[in-house]
Structure 1
């Protein structure tokens, strides 16, 4: 391969769909790999989102065990599969997940409209292999502290998923406004309006506010579920999200003010200025006409200024 060919390949980038095909991944697996930092992306110079460099594709292909090793690192499993990997019953695994000892990485609504949480198989194996977790996996019952939390109705799965998802969003944020948008993604519009009172700043934050992961068509039960899970509902969680959003907003203002319309005094059209296109539309021989009547003097502020200077 010539040096020129290598140089061209080094500068080549792929869309996410093409990169997923090059790596033998489904799009869902590819997106999860990007979120987890397994696949590095670069900005699209044309403003079309993130892309994957050819060099990154080659790096992944050169790793030992490719593609099976990469697929295993991003494999997600349901509750039943996770329980099997951990060597416990499905009921015990659900209890461990409810108290936050294992954290979901994704979710979906199945055909029976039941919420299904997904977990990283790699994390489940590491949890089961840790000797410190043996009391949680063996024995007839869970430790007393865990049982007390469960009896109180604790279920941290949605909140822990939001925390993890926020980490994914913040990892992709490239400036303070995008970080503010990521934090706002977990708050409802009323909460955002209370923190971001300026309408132009609020519009700019909403521009960078990601929606829920795609689950069904807008308005469908799956989409409504995704929106509900995406929105913080715990008072403590809402409190720290509001505080973090306020801080991110201060940093964003210092970094670059939100765009807003120019003040009225700076709009030349309102002072009687002729649009440049009108000059271009005039015939080129207009200035050669010596018998043309003198144009009417301009009125208003601009006319007064011209008469004053003559």
Structure 2
């Protein structure tokens, strides 16, 4: 297989998506530069410019982010510093060095008031600080860089780091009743599948905004149901409403993503979320 890239960088390379992103890129590049937080503070413009100047990547996947949705309500300055200013810094450096950039954004840029999947160019109106900071990152990157993929995704889980699937399995081990919100609808997305799709995008010049999530949708409660069905775990599981399960940051009630741009640009849609979850659970070393 011919290598498509010489050198590709990944910010946030120590995170859940970042680790899988590095693995997905390795067969396609001569070198993958894995920049975790210790290697590169994306909020430091001078450091970002220096790193790009020294290493000269052809492309960068910007996965570094402030992702603590509830905590962002209490520290909006930090959320914007990382998600907006940090994204601007990476976009500036990419533009200066002629590199492509893939910016990983979120379904939380949408208000979640509808009942139909959101397509790529619908109006965004985030209802929490995290979503606002990620949307600001989209604006800043798009204003600075033409060779840009904005990739909105949702409800991520993977082998590395904490996520909903692992949380459910840990709660099941405790044996206590489990209550999960049943009135928020979205698309669970496996980081391995997301990373592979980002590689496909980067191999082209079909720049733009893409919605990239596993196909289909469910509520958090239905997601939990499927986790326990596939693992064969007997649990006391019931659904609650968002009003019964108050969180500091409001969540979109419906944030399913439409995949029109992937399809119209000739990319295969991602597999059903149930199939991805089944594979993930089969791989998960925590089981047993």
Task: Give the strand-richer structure, 1 or 2.
Answer: 2
For the pair shown, which has the larger CA radius of gyration, 1 or 2?
1
Task: Give the helix-richer structure, 1 or 2.
Answer: 1
What TM-score, normalized to structure 1?
A: 0.27
Question: Bigger relative contact order, structure 1 or 2, given CA contacts below 8 A and separation 6+?
Answer: 2
